[in-house]
């Protein structure tokens, strides 16, 4: 099937670029001497995971229990649910762990660990648990000096319901950096925070096998990963305009795009059938090089100058640019996303394309 | 089931508020002496449509062919697909029309009408078609003075594949208004544009039975609908913070909320499991009264002061407010959305709630 035969709006994944992105990150992490745990939160597709997984590791990270369940069904055993678990989610996690025996959870508070312990004792279960550190993003996680850290590590060590998997941190503040030097500094914060926390825990005679760090920018620009055992990263597989703007791949590496059709063409404006729902309302490029709601390229992926989706309604996207005159009602364009994780979430499948041909259709999961 | 037993994040619809919103708009449109065509783009649920539909009219509007197909399957016959159709979508529209015989389409260009004519002749089909007018929003639609208007009307009249349903316009620029007076002025632009276009077409001895206008703000504040046959509106059913900020219902009328759980609680920050995917990245209240990514209320819907979701990551929402101390890890809150259409689209179902009880679960459709 040719791309232009697809109903629009729909999500395209360029096979060659996706493969190249996966190969690049695997080679990079291998060069660093550690293992890659690809984060599947962006593409949420088992077909994508099979390409992205590091054969020397085998595991993935996910951001929802829905993803964990989906990948467990597909036979993945080592799944790190890398968002802090809450007590009410434990029953579902226990059910998923029956299908994915190496499921692991994230905690940053003794209250949660106590709930895991109580649930485990009551239900004769145990869970693999990572302790989250805050390496500077200030989202979740314990700071290195927090007195709760040794208390939590001891509690995990002593609970029959918990096996301590290790410590984990996410240098998400790398997204706020603009230079490679700044990103490398954040990577070093990630590394030192996690490695020191692991050292503190081990000094208590508590086994702390895993030291997990990562984000796409820090994975690409870390100067050293001494002491780290695995790197988590995800958005590099798809790429997006924001990542390209902060030196995480180039614009030409962006594998994800939205295929859209021109639905209205007036003298001073042109609308496509991809609006806020099809593109998301993510405006992250506003802070770097503003691309509105996405960069418009032609059906074949070729540049239309700096044409952008300048505005969106629910189902309408307004194009703006100097090289749009060639388009007519019914013309197809591709729109490169500001933020691949947000845009991909609008779709229940990914059409894999090779040149102008649709060569595969990959399932993806959504929701929670 | 009690609300707090639901897995989070999830979408709640307050039954009493939803019913009240539907009753209010039906009474309002009846008072105006016209009929209501509820726009289902926000809730996308057949259960919601059954409450919202005007028994004197029976029809609905939708924004995607996916919605048209879903509502056709549920037995709705009169479905107005109120986004300009494109040639490549005609085969699917024809298939849907077999299930929804009164399906109607929107065009604003002779090229599209010619494609409908060609498709209809080739496939022995006919379509009901509305001509879209631009009453000042400048999204899609012909301006009243556009010489294409009579050409398009004549073409539709003469094509054996087209039955002209009438003229339609959407005063979406009412969303840019801040006072009721301004909104009433936009409503009058909607009315005069559509009524004059219908008059021009009728003066050509072409039947133009329908004169369809609407948006939630203009439906609520129009001074007159003389000459109008039906009003389309949709977001009033759910309500949202942005609509409340522009006099389309009150904050207490907002029927849609996102149930979320506190996942991390540090000295200076608190995170819930509803982030950008669960709430959307819509920031429309930034232009009115800024509520970040949503207003936080307690599990029962009671105020927590002016607490808001101040920032979002993909699966994390950061709460900010003075009355959050009572919350702990595992605590539930509800988040009122900036823009109901964007937020609801993250969910494949709506949990209908009455007080603290879940009393129903409504399906909804998503995608295209």
pLDDT tens by residue, A270-307: 999 999 999 999 999 999 999 999 999 999 999 999 99
Same domain, residue pair A313 and A168? no
Partner B contacted by A58 (CB < 8 A)? no
Q: How much is the pLDDT for A322?
A: 87
pLDDT band at residue A267 under the 50/70/90 scheme: confident
Same domain, residue pair A223 and A269? no
Q: What share of chain A has pLDDT > 90, as a percent?
A: 98
In a domain? residue B304:
yes
In a domain? residue A242:
no
Write out pLDDT tens, residues A90-137. Answer: 999 999 999 999 999 999 999 999 999 999 999 999 999 999 999 999
Q: Which of B286, B329, B346 to mutate to test the interface with A (most CBs of A within 10 A)?
A: B329
Chain A residues near residue B83 by CB distance under 8 angstroms: 263, 273, 315-316
Partner A contacted by B309 (CB < 8 A)? no
In a domain? residue B243:
no
Partner A contacted by B344 (CB < 8 A)? no
Same domain, residue pair A56 and A144? yes
Partner-chain contact B264 A84, CB within 8 Å: yes
Number of cross-chain residue pairs from A and B with Cβ atoms under 8 Å apart: 154
Rg over alpha carbons for chain B, rounded to the nearest Å, is 22
Q: What string of H, E and C letters represents the secondary structure of chain B? A: CEHHHCCCCEEEEEHHHHHHHHHHHHHHHHHHCCEEEEECCCCCCHHHHHHHCCCCCCCEEECCHHHHHHHHHCCCCCEEEEEECCHHHHHHHHHHHHHCCCCEEEECCHHHHHHHHHHHHHHCCCEEEEEEECCCCCCCCECCCCCHHHHHHHHHHHCCCEEEEEEEECCHHHHHCCCHHHHHHHHHHHHHHHHHHHHHHHHCCCCCCEEEECCHHHHHHCCCCCCCCEEEECHHHCCCHHHHHCCCCCHHHCCEEEEEEEEEEECCEEEECCCHHHHCCCCHHHHCCCCECCEEEECCCCEEEEEEEEEECCCCEEEECCCCCCCCCCCEEEEECCCHHHHHCCCCEEEEEECCEEEEEEECCCCC
Same domain, residue pair A56 and A191? yes
Q: How much is the pLDDT for A284?
A: 96
Q: Could you list the residue range(s) of the whole structural domain that residue A333 is in? A: 3-11+249-363
Partner A contacted by B124 (CB < 8 A)? no
Partner A contacted by B330 (CB < 8 A)? yes
SS3 A81: strand
Q: Which of B10, B142, B264, B265 to mutate to test the interface with A (most CBs of A within 10 A)?
A: B264
Average pLDDT over residues A321-338: 95
Partner B contacted by A91 (CB < 8 A)? no
- Distance (Å) from the C-alpha of residue B169 to the closest C-alpha of chain A? 14
**CA nearest to B81 within chain A:** A315
Per the DSSP assignment, residues forming a β-bridge with B201 are none
Cβ burial A252-284 (10 Å sphere, 16+ → b, else e) = ebbbbbbbbbbbbbbeebbbbbbbbbbbbbbbb
Q: How much is the pLDDT for B357?
A: 98
Residue A347's CB is within 10 A of a number of other CB atoms, namely 21
Write out pLDDT tens, residues A299-329. Answer: 999 999 999 999 999 999 999 998 998 899 9
Report in angstroms the alpha-carbon separations of B139 from A275, B116, B281, B291: 12, 22, 22, 27
Partner-chain contact B367 A346, CB within 8 Å: yes
Burial-class residue B102 by CB neighbours within 10 Å (0-12, 13-18, 19+). Answer: middle
Chain A residues near residue B276 by CB distance under 8 angstroms: 282, 342
Chain A residues near residue B346 by CB distance under 8 angstroms: 345, 367
In a domain? residue A52:
yes
In a domain? residue B351:
yes
Q: How much is the pLDDT for A268?
A: 77
Distance CA A337, CA A259 (A): 11
A251 φ, ψ to 5°? -55, -35
- Name the residue among A84, A92, A341 with its Cβ closest to that of B263: A84
Partner-chain contact A88 B8, CB within 8 Å: yes
Q: How much is the pLDDT for A306?
A: 92
Which of B198, B214, B237 represents a domain boundary (last residue)? B237
Report in angstroms the alpha-carbon separations of A152 from A282, A335, B287: 36, 46, 44
- Name the residue among A83, A271, A345 with its Cβ closest to that of B263: A83
Which of B188, B210, B237 represents a domain boundary (last residue)? B237
Q: How much is the pLDDT for B150?
A: 98
Split into its structural domains, chain B has a count of 2
**The CATH number of the domain where A356 resides is what?**
2.40.37.20
Same domain, residue pair A226 and A279? no
Same domain, residue pair B58 and B109? yes
**CA nearest to A268 within chain B:** B138
What is the average pLDDT score of chain B?
A: 97
For this complex, say whether ipTM is above 0.85.
yes
- Distance (Å) from the C-alpha of residue B132 to the closest C-alpha of chain A? 11
Same domain, residue pair B122 and B59? yes
In a domain? residue A307:
yes
Partner-chain contact B271 A139, CB within 8 Å: yes
Write out pLDDT tens, residues B280-307. Answer: 999 999 999 999 999 999 999 999 999 9
Average pLDDT over residues B245-262: 97
Q: How much is the pLDDT for B188?
A: 98
Partner B contacted by A139 (CB < 8 A)? yes
Q: How much is the pLDDT for B227?
A: 98
Q: Which of A330, A296, A257, A311 is nearest to B84 (CA)?
A: A330
- Distance (Å) from the C-alpha of residue A329 to the closest C-alpha of chain B? 7
Same domain, residue pair A130 and A34? yes
In a domain? residue B242:
no
- Name the residue among B139, B264, B282 with its Cβ closest to that of A108: B264
Q: How much is the pLDDT for B322?
A: 87
Write out pLDDT tens, residues A201-234. Answer: 999 999 999 999 999 999 999 999 999 999 999 9
Write out pLDDT tens, residues B66-95. Answer: 999 999 999 999 999 999 999 999 999 999
In the stretch 218-237 of chain B, residues with CB closer than 8 A to chain A read none
Partner-chain contact B314 A341, CB within 8 Å: yes
Partner-chain contact B328 A111, CB within 8 Å: yes
Chain B residues near residue A261 by CB distance under 8 angstroms: 86, 88-89
Chain B residues near residue A63 by CB distance under 8 angstroms: 314-315
Partner-chain contact B86 A329, CB within 8 Å: yes
What is the average pLDDT score of chain A?
A: 97
**The CATH number of the domain where A79 resides is what?**
3.20.20.10
- Distance (Å) from the C-alpha of residue B319 to the closest C-alpha of chain A? 11
Partner A contacted by B265 (CB < 8 A)? yes
Burial-class residue A107 by CB neighbours within 10 Å (0-12, 13-18, 19+). Answer: buried
Q: What share of chain B has pLDDT > 70, as a percent?
A: 100
Place of tokens 């159709």: B85
Which of B237, B262, B293 represents a domain boundary (last residue)? B237
Q: How much is the pLDDT for B85?
A: 98
Distance CA B268, CA A47 (A): 40
Partner-chain contact B315 A63, CB within 8 Å: yes
Same domain, residue pair B217 and B78? yes
More confident residue, A326 or B360: B360
Same domain, residue pair B287 and B203? no
Q: How much is the pLDDT for A228?
A: 98
Same domain, residue pair B343 and B230? no
Same domain, residue pair A7 and A21? no
Partner-chain contact A7 B89, CB within 8 Å: yes
In a domain? residue A161:
yes
């Amino acid at each position: 099937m040719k791309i232009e035969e697809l109903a629009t709006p729909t999500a395209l994944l360029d096979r060659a670029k996706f493969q190249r992105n996966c190969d690049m990150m695997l080679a990079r992490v291998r060069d660093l001497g550690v293992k890659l745990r690809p984060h599947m939160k962006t593409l949420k597709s088992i077909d994508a995971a099979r390409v992205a997984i590091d054969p020397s590791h085998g595991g993935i990270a996910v951001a929802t229990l829905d993803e964990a369940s989906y990948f467990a069904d597909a036979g993945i055993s080592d799944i790190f649910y890398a968002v802090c678990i809450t007590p009410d989610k434990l029953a579902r996690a226990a059910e998923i762990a029956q299908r994915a025996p190496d499921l692991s959870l994230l905690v940053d508070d003794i209250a949660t660990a106590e709930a895991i312990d109580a649930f485990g004792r009551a239900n004769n279960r145990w869970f693999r648990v990572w302790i989250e550190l805050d390496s500077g993003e200030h989202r979740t996680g314990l700071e290195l000096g927090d007195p709760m850290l040794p208390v939590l590590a001891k509690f995990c060590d002593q609970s029959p319901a918990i096996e301590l998997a290790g410590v984990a941190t996410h240098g998400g503040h790398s997204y706020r950096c603009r230079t490679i030097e700044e990103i490398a500094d954040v990577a070093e914060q990630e590394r030192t925070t996690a490695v020191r926390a692991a050292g503190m825990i081990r000094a208590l005679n508590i086994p702390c096998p895993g030291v997990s760090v990562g984000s796409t920018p820090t994975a690409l620009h870390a100067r050293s990963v001494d002491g780290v055992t695995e790197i988590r990263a995800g958005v590099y597989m798809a790429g997006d305009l924001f990542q390209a703007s902060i030196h995480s791949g180039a614009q030409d590496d962006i594998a994800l795009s939205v295929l859209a059709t021109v639905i209205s063409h007036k003298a001073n404006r042109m609308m496509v059938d991809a609006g806020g729902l099809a593109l998301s309302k993510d405006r992250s490029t506003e802070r770097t090089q503003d691309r509105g709601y996405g960069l418009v390229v032609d059906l074949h992926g070729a540049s239309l100058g700096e044409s952008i989706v300048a505005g969106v309604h629910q189902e309408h996207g307004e194009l703006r640019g100097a090289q749009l005159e060639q388009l007519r009602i019914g013309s197809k364009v591709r729109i490169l996303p500001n933020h691949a994780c947000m845009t991909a979430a609008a779709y229940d499948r990914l059409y894999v394309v090779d040149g102008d041909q649709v060569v595969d259709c990959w399932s993806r999961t959504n929701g929670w």
